[in-house]
Structure 1
């Protein structure tokens, strides 16, 4: 039996049920349809080179849309160089850059990159992507419904559907949200409230993970040095940066270079700006759902939340010019607060 427009729409209506997209349906049925379409694309392993990896392989809802691995594993079991960033806070945190080094400035650009990255989903280019999308006749009908102005399906429509879906993935209201937005002090016990005071004050966490906004952003959208990975490349930094500049001049995509050159991946923001001052700088991630997103840092080198606190306290002390000297009790309280985000 062939796919009809009605049956295709019913299929996507089912996809909406129980999803974050359902919240948008009343405001814009067409946007809701795009979100449901994006969800289908996000979960479809047929859009990868080996037919086994989807976006959802690395962005798992129960882990705040991370994967729990040190670094991502893509097609044919290929191991990347970067820890999978959470998607749960992209919209609520008002992200202005994407990926650890901020190589993309719009989500519409960012959602396509993994599909054509050789270490992630492995498609050769956008042409192959569209060929795979077009193999599903039922989905073509929904594309036509979701994008009535488009004469053909292109990467722009795939990007728009994935973008709308990712923007719908806001994390659930947290205990800290209830504490701040509803004026309810009960969600944070005394230990967590002590941790909040440390986060704002002695720990200097809020210098970068801002408590501004409603709901709070928990990021400054800036780039900072955490020390991870630089020791391994410090001895040959001049030759490495020169090689990066040469590959950049040859037009090789930053994402492909970072994914296939582990040493280059440690250079962070330098890969985008080629400014020596940006060596080792990485984008500040939002801390929403941080208790679910271990391991931590751009390379997944910090296995637990306790270890991440120790690392951050150390480097905050270096930046301040004096050690922070947080006690075990204080570190435990800080962890208790982070678990409420």
Structure 2
């Protein structure tokens, strides 16, 4: 018995040292994303960084961090407070409010299918070059979590449970901000939405209603909706081109969008195309949440386009103020757009706290 106990203690010590030696020998349990078959058939594989492979332990840690207010300066705000599952991982408020009570000037972007963001630009203005980098900013932003990374890491390090969870995920109990961002990014890459009514239609499980079917035609018709140039077509399950456009909201810009990042005035007023998935849950709309309803969005493109020097050439009807849809086409377009919403996504227990 003494020999067996000694052998057990030796093995335990070797395993523990192996996890903490920083030599990269430790490997967490690999996890494969549950990718809808339609994604696999029509778009490139998801982007998983070589230095941040998916793991069971990493995703579990990232989920806990996402819902835990421990990263904020006063332990009152989590990522989920501005990216609520029930709102398609966006915010029902026009502008999210940080721990100081101050609001920003942009609407919280929904989080879905982020592993397929091929241009690698995140935020409305593309200022983050990867999902991991995107996660760094909210913690230190003075109108969001208003913390410092050393303070956030110290809070995690001094907790009773997080050092163990980081050990499980990354093989070390010494926590740093890079591992925090990697874990949260792993969880966010699991937020895959691909079971809307339209997805079910494409799988041959249901038929679209006449209104939804005509709405799809309006969406694809260059003389009517002309929506597909920026949001893709039924062969693009992301329903966004992930590119930056000036879509005719304003003549002059208080928030200059992409040009704040590039410094190029030709990028004034350009913002990232949001996905059309889960519009039933993600109001309000546009980068500044100016439209409370989907009807207002449709009316903007129908009658409300505004010319500016950087207007996207795809806004071909700006000279007429919009594409001037009939009331029937507006209603049908709305029905189609809502068919892209996925209740199973916002109710998935894997994505809940």
User: Aligned residue for 1:240?
Assistant: none
Q: CA deviation at 1:184?
A: 3.7
Per-residue deviation, residues 243-302 of structure 1 (Å, max 9, x unmatched): xxxxxxxxxxxxxxxxxxxx4xx1000011110100000010111101211111111111
- Asked if 1:43 corresponds to 2:43, the answer is no
Q: CA deviation at 1:139?
A: 1.3
- Asked if 1:327 corresponds to 2:326, the answer is yes
Per-residue deviation, residues 20-43 of structure 1 (Å, max 9, x unmatched): x99759xxx971111110111111
Q: Distance in 1 between matches of 2:77 and 2:100?
A: 9
User: Aligned residue for 2:213?
Assistant: 193
Counterparts of 1:1-341 in structure 2 under 5 Å? Answer: 31-91=55-115, 94=118, 96-124=120-148, 126-148=149-171, 150=172, 152-180=174-202, 182-186=203-207, 188-201=208-221, 202-211=224-233, 213=235, 216-228=237-249, 231=252, 233=253, 263=254, 266-314=255-303, 315=305, 319-320=316-317, 321-322=319-320, 323-341=322-340
Q: CA deviation at 1:152?
A: 2.7
CA contact (8 A) 1:219 1:287 kept: yes
Per-residue deviation, residues 34-90 of structure 1 (Å, max 9, x unmatched): 111011111111211122111010111111001111011111211111100000232
Q: Distance in 2 between matches of 1:158 and 1:339?
A: 35
Q: Distance in 2 between matches of 1:313 and 1:102?
A: 27
Cα-Cα RMSD = 2.6
User: Aligned residue for 1:243?
Assistant: none
CA contact (8 A) 1:50 1:76 kept: no
For residue 292 of structure 1, give the secondary structure of its aligned residue in structure 2. Answer: coil
CA contact (8 A) 1:24 1:32 kept: no
Q: Distance in 2 between matches of 1:128 and 1:177?
A: 44
Which structure's residues are more often helix, by fraction? 1
**Gapped regions of structure 2 (runs ≥ 5):** 1-11, 13-29, 35-52, 306-311, 341-353
CA contact (8 A) 1:58 1:66 kept: yes
User: Aligned residue for 2:25?
Assistant: none
- Count of residue correspondences: 283
Cα distance change of structure 1 residues 69 and 229 upon mapping to structure 2, 3 Å threshold: farther
Cα distance change of structure 1 residues 77 and 147 upon mapping to structure 2, 3 Å threshold: same
Q: Distance in 1 between matches of 2:173 and 2:89?
A: 33
Cα distance change of structure 1 residues 199 and 24 upon mapping to structure 2, 3 Å threshold: closer
TM-score, normalised to structure 1's length?
A: 0.77
Q: Distance in 1 between matches of 2:31 and 2:292?
A: 35
Q: CA deviation at 1:319?
A: 2.6
Cα distance change of structure 1 residues 141 and 30 upon mapping to structure 2, 3 Å threshold: farther
CA contact (8 A) 1:39 1:165 kept: yes
CA contact (8 A) 1:89 1:286 kept: no
Q: Distance in 2 between matches of 1:30 and 1:225?
A: 35
Runs of 4+ in 1 over 2 A off after TM superposition: 21-25, 91-96, 226-231, 312-323
Cα distance change of structure 1 residues 151 and 100 upon mapping to structure 2, 3 Å threshold: same
For residue 97 of structure 1, give the secondary structure of its aligned residue in structure 2. Answer: coil
Q: Distance in 2 between matches of 1:50 and 1:230?
A: 40
